[in-house]
Amino acid sequence: VPRPPRGTVMAATQQPYLPAGCRLVAQLAYPSVLRLPSRPPFVVRLPEVAEALSEAALREHFASLGAVSCQTFQVQGSRKGVVGFKTFEDTIRAVARPQDRIVAGHEVELEIGDFSENGDESPVAGGVGPPPIGECLPRLRRMRRCLRTVGLDHLLTREQDGWLARRVWQDVLSLEEQQRLCLARILYHQPSFCLLDDATSAIPAAVESKLHQSLKDWDVTPIALSRRARLGEVYGRELQLAEGGACEWKLQADADA
């Protein structure tokens, strides 16, 4: 049976799969395979630049990172920017730690690659929506929003190499953090449906329901198998199966879910 397309359904289990030796950015993108640009031009773009932030301040900030050019411009009433680098290493260093991109009190968000002719939502530009199948550049702003939604932004900010941190994540992260990371991965790809096989069992009860609700808030329809009874408030239908040898079941609907 062919596997359904990633945009239709994704699955998560109690013990998430974390590919060995992958960088943090690749863990979020999985099962997509990223290919960062290793040939010039080496460019990062600034999708949104505060009007109060001067181009001179931006130029000074990025020059310290090896930038050779920096310019801002207006596109349909929105201020954007492009920064050019001489080497691949300088480019990656600029985007690796977003918490370090504070310029004159303003957080400057970066994406890898130049703006495309088709706008910020195109595959080349790497927009804020879910990545289309085949896109090889990460959508860093979306990734960070996903981490924040599941309560894992500290995972990015505590790593010296930021997005480029390479760890044996199964050893570094608790089971709770692994499960949260898997939920962030689902949010990043935003399929129509997700199948959760006891996928939040290690997450405290106080936030478990909120994370399931977050999936619905992101227009993902969750179908969950759980040994906990408190998730019924999130779901419109609940099938309860009796434990042991008794073949008993009960289907109930929640009109408010």
Could you read off the pLDDT of 152-200 as tens digits, one per residue? 999 999 999 999 999 999 999 999 999 999 999 999 999 999 999 999 9
Query: pLDDT per residue over 189-237, tens digit each?
Result: 999 999 999 999 999 988 999 999 999 999 999 988 877 666 667 766 6
How much of the chain exceeds pLDDT 70, in percent?
82
CA distance 33 to 26: 7
Q: DSSP secondary-structure letter at 215?
A: H
β-sheet bridge partners, residue 74: 79
d(CA 185, CA 224): 16
CB atoms within 10 A of CB 71: 13
In 190-223, where does DSSP find H-type helix? 205-217
Taken as a whole, the chain contains a residue count of: 257
β-bridge mates for residue 250, sequence order: 240
pTM over 0.85: yes
pLDDT in tens, 50-90: 999 999 999 999 999 999 999 999 988 999 999 999 999 99
pLDDT at residue number 226: 75
- What distance lies between CA 70 and its chain's CA centroid? 27
Residue appearing with tokens 């290493």? 89
Collapsed DSSP state (helix, strand, coil) of residue 71:
strand
**Above 90 in pLDDT, residue 244?**
no
Tokens coding 218: 């992101």
**Burial profile 207-243: b = 16 or more Cβ within 10 angstroms, e = fewer:** ebbebbbbbeeeebebebebeeeebbebbeebeeeee
- What is residue 125's predicted lDDT score, i.e. its pLDDT? 42
Contact 139/184 with Cβ under 8 angstroms? no
Q: Among the residues of the chain, which ranges form H helices?
A: 24-29, 55-63, 88-96, 140-149, 153-157, 169-172, 175-189, 205-217
The mean predicted confidence, pLDDT, of the chain is 87
Q: Could you say which DSSP state residue 120 is in? A: T
Cβ atoms of residues 80 and 49 within 8 Å: yes
The SS3 assignment for 84 reads: strand
